[in-house]
C-alpha cells in the first residue's frame, strides 16, 4: 500500500456496520485511542491492522488500495474543469484518497449534466432526424469498460472455451460449421456496405465480400455472441446507471468483446505475447489478425490469475477525434479540450507503416512507454474510400522492459521523456510551447501568456 493514511475509509466502514470505536477496537485487538488516531489520520493504517480487518470482517482489501486513484483524480479534475474550477492537484488527491465516493459522485453529477447539455444541443440543432446515439451514450459505454479495466471475465472464459477447440488464425471454417450445425444458419456473401447482416427468417448471415479470413471469423464470432451468450450480454448490460441508448450500445460492445476473445483465446494469446515480448506484428501473424485487433486484445489481458501487461489503447483520426479508448491502466486522457499534440500518436500519420516509440511523462510524474502506428482499412480499388487512423498502445514505464519496443531506450533517463498532458484545458504545464488554450479555471498571468492566446497576435494584444 502506497497510501497508508486512510482514516476516512476506515471510519466509513465502521459507520456502515453500525460499530462504535470501542467495539471495532475490541474486534481488531487494538486500543480505542489507537483506532481514533488511525481514523483521524494521525496514525497510518498498517498492514497488520488491514489483515486483521480482513480476518474479522472478510473485508475486500481493495477498499484500502490506491489502485484506480489516479484515474479518479483525472476524472475529478476534468469534471471540475467543466465547471471552470481549477482545483489544486494536492486537494484533488486528498479528496480521491480519503473520500472516493464523494469524488465519484461529483464525477457522476458532471456526467449527467454533460449528457443533458449534449441532448439539449442535439435537439436544438436538429429539425428532423438525428444520430442513432448521443455522444453521452458512447461515453457511458466507454466508462463501463473502463471501470472493469477492459476485462469481462464471464464472456472471456466462455469465448476461450470455443476458441481453444479451433486452429489459431484459421477459425473461419470451424465457426461456419458451428453456426450451421448448432443454429442452422448458413453464410452468404453480400455486395452491400454492411459488414454483417443477419436474416432470422431465412437463417442467413450475410457477410461483406471484401472481408479477409480473420475478419470473417470475427463477424461470425460476433453473431455467435448474440446467439449463445445473449442472456449473459443482457444481464451485463442491465446496469441501472445506463440509459436505453447506452445499454443498446453496450450489448454491441459486449458481443464484439466476445468475438475478439474467441478468435484470440486468452491463455494462448497471452503465452504468445509473453514469448514474443509483445511484438505486435509477430502476434498478429500468429493469429491471422491485423495490427489494430492485436492492440485491442492486448488491452484486455487482466484475468486475475494470469495478467498481461496493463495497456492503454486508443485510436484517433487525423482531426484528433477519438473513436476508441480502452484501458487496463490508470492512464486516462481528458474528455474535454482534445488530447496532447506532443503525443506520438499524431506523428504516426506522417510516417505510415512505421512503429513510433515514445517515453512520455504526465504532469503527475507518471511515465509511460507508448508505441503508435498508422492503420488503414477499406475495400481497396481505384477511387474506393479508405479509412485512415492512428492507433497507440501504452503502458506504465515499470512494465516497459517486458516489451521488445523498449530495446535500445534508456528508460532510466528522465530527460528523454516527452512532457505530455491530458489536454490543454486541464493540463497544468503552463510553459508548454504547444499549449492551445489556458487551463480552465486558472486566470491568465503574465503578459506573455495573454499574448499567446490573444485572438490577434501581431501586437500581443486582443483587438
- How many whole angstroms separate alpha carbon 322 and alpha carbon 343? 13
Using an 8 Å Cβ cutoff, are 395 and 329 in contact?
A: yes
Predicted local confidence at residue 456, as pLDDT? 42
Q: 7-64: what CATH class?
A: mainly alpha
Q: Which residues of the chain have pLDDT under 50?
A: 1-3, 124-133, 337, 443-463
Q: Of 144, 88, 146, 82, which is closest to residue 118 (Cα–Cα)?
A: 82
Q: 134-263: what CATH class?
A: mainly alpha
Predicted local confidence at residue 284, as pLDDT? 96
Predicted local confidence at residue 449, as pLDDT? 44
From residue 166, how far is each of 108, 186, 263, 268 by CA, in Å? 43, 19, 9, 12
Q: Which residues of 374-401 are buried (b: 16+ CB within 10 A; e: fewer)?
A: bbeeeeeeeeeeeeebbbbbbbbbebbe
Give the three-class secondary structure for 33: helix
DSSP state of 59: -
Q: For 14-67, how does the pLDDT look when each residue is reduced to its tens digit (9 = 90+)?
A: 877 888 888 888 888 888 888 888 888 778 777 788 788 877 777 655 555 555
For residue 325, give the H/E element and its range: strand 322-327
Radius of gyration from C-alpha coordinates of the chain: 25
Predicted local confidence at residue 332, as pLDDT? 60
Q: For 233-262, how does the pLDDT look when each residue is reduced to its tens digit (9 = 90+)?
A: 999 999 988 889 899 999 999 999 999 999
Residue ranges of domains in the chain = 7-64, 134-263
Predicted local confidence at residue 455, as pLDDT? 43
> Would you call 127 exposed, middle or buried from its count of C-beta atoms within 10 A (0-12, 13-18, 19+)?
exposed
Residue 47, all three cell numbers: 498492514
- Domains 7-64 and 134-263 equal at CATH topology level: no
Q: Of 313, 323, 333, which is closest to residue 426 (Cα–Cα)?
A: 333
For the chain, first and last CA: distance in Å?
Answer: 54
From residue 327, how far is each of 42, 264, 290, 349 by CA, in Å? 35, 18, 19, 22
Which residue's C-alpha cell is 454533460? 114
Question: C-alpha angle 408/413/414, rounded to 5°?
Answer: 135
Using an 8 Å Cβ cutoff, are 367 and 361 in contact?
A: yes
DSSP state of 304: T
For residue 199, give the H/E element and its range: strand 196-199
- How many whole angstroms separate alpha carbon 163 and alpha carbon 271? 15
Predicted local confidence at residue 427, as pLDDT? 79
> Would you call 42 exposed, middle or buried from its count of C-beta atoms within 10 A (0-12, 13-18, 19+)?
exposed
Question: C-alpha angle 229/230/236, rounded to 5°?
Answer: 90
For residue 55, give the H/E element and its range: helix 47-57
Using an 8 Å Cβ cutoff, are 457 and 397 in contact?
A: no
3-state SS, 249-278, equals HHHHHHHHHHHHHHHCCHHHHHHHHHHCCC
Tell me how long the chain is: 463
DSSP state of 328: S
Amino acid at each position: 500500500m502506497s497510501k497508508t493514511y486512510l482514516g476516512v475509509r476506515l471510519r466509513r466502514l465502521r459507520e456502515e456496520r453500525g460499530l462504535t470505536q470501542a467495539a471495532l477496537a475490541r474486534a481488531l485487538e487494538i486500543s480505542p485511542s489507537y483506532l481514533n488516531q488511525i481514523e483521524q489520520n494521525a496514525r497510518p493504517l498498517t498492514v497488520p491492522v488491514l489483515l486483521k480487518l480482513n480476518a474479522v470482517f472478510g473485508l475486500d482489501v481493495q477498499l484500502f488500495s490506491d489502485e484506480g486513484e489516479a484515474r479518479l483524480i483525472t476524472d475529478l479534475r476534468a469534471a471540475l474543469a467543466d465547471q471552470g474550477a481549477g482545483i489544486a492537484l494536492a486537494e484533488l488527491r486528498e479528496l480521491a484518497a480519503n473520500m472516493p465516493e464523494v469524488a465519484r459522485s461529483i464525477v457522476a453529477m458532471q456526467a449527467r449534466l454533460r449528457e443533458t447539455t449534449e441532448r439539449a444541443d442535439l435537439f436544438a440543432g436538429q429539425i428532423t432526424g438525428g444520430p442513432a446515439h448521443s455522444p453521452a451514450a458512447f461515453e457511458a459505454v466507454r466508462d463501463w469498460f473502463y471501470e472493469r479495466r477492459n476485462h469481462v471475465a464471464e464472456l472471456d472464459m466462455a469465448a476461450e472455451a470455443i476458441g481453444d477447440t479451433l486452429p489459431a488464425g484459421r477459425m473461419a471454417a470451424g465457426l461456419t460449421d458451428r453456426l450451421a450445425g448448432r443454429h442452422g444458419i448458413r453464410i452468404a456473401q453480400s455486395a452491400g456496405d454492411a459488414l454483417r447482416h443477419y436474416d432470422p427468417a431465412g437463417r442467413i448471415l450475410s457477410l461483406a465480400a471484401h472481408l479477409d479470413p480473420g475478419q470473417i471469423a470475427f463477424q461470425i464470432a460476433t453473431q455467435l455472441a448474440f446467439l449463445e451468450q445473449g442472456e449473459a450480454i443482457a444481464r451485463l448490460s442491465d446496469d441501472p446507471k445506463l440509459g436505453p441508448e447506452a445499454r443498446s450500445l453496450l450489448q454491441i460492445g459486449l458481443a464484439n468483446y466476445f468475438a475478439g476473445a474467441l478468435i484470440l483465446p486468452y491463455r494462448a494469446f497471452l503465452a504468445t505475447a509473453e514469448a514474443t515480448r509483445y511484438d505486435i506484428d509477430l502476434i498478429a501473424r500468429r493469429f491471422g489478425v491485423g495490427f489494430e485487433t492485436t492492440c485491442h486484445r492486448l488491452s484486455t489481458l487482466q484475468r486475475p490469475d494470469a495478467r498481461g501487461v496493463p495497456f492503454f489503447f486508443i485510436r484517433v483520426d487525423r482531426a484528433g477525434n477519438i473513436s476508441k479508448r480502452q484501458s487496463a491502466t490508470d492512464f486516462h486522457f481528458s474528455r474535454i479540450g482534445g488530447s496532447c499534440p506532443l503525443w506520438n500518436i499524431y506523428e504516426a500519420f506522417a510516417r505510415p507503416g512505421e512503429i513510433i516509440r515514445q517515453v512520455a511523462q504526465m504532469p503527475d510524474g507518471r511515465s509511460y512507454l507508448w508505441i503508435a502506428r498508422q492503420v488503414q482499412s477499406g475495400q481497396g480499388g481505384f477511387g474506393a474510400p479508405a479509412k485512415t487512423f492512428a492507433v497507440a498502445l501504452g503502458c506504465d514505464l515499470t512494465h516497459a522492459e517486458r516489451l521488445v519496443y523498449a530495446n535500445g531506450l534508456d528508460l532510466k533517463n528522465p530527460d528523454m521523456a516527452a512532457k505530455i498532458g491530458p489536454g490543454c484545458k486541464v493540463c497544468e504545464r503552463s510553459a508548454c510551447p504547444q499549449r492551445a488554450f489556458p487551463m480552465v479555471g486558472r486566470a491568465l498571468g503574465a503578459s506573455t501568456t495573454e499574448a499567446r492566446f490573444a485572438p490577434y497576435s501581431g501586437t500581443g494584444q486582443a483587438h
